[in-house]
Amino acid sequence: MALPPLERSAGVRHLYREAHLLAAEIHPDLGEGVTGGGSGGNLAAAPGVPIRDGLGAIGRGAHAAGECVEIASLPWRAALAGLLRRILER
């Protein structure tokens, strides 16, 4: 089954701006990029739900035997969970 694309809708752009502002408080930069593949975010975004994907751990070799995570990145990446709280409080 092919996953639908995660479109860069107005809602997705808004969530990126919110995540970028939050990240700026705790880390120098939260980049934005495009990758191949897909996730559950693709399915949730298909009917128009704004999604901010890719906020997980930083590392290499995703889903492979040699997968690893940059331990030093975990505290600030975990702090991005505040994005959800900030949005829900509005």
Spell out the domain ranges in the chain. Answer: 10-88
Mean pLDDT of the chain: 80
Rounded to an integer, the average pLDDT of 45-56 is 82
Q: Determine if the pTM surpasses 0.85.
A: no
Quick check: 51 and 41 in contact, CB under 8 A? yes
Residue 88 has a pLDDT of 67
Residues in the chain: 90
Tens of pLDDT, residues 9-33: 898 888 888 878 877 777 667 777 7
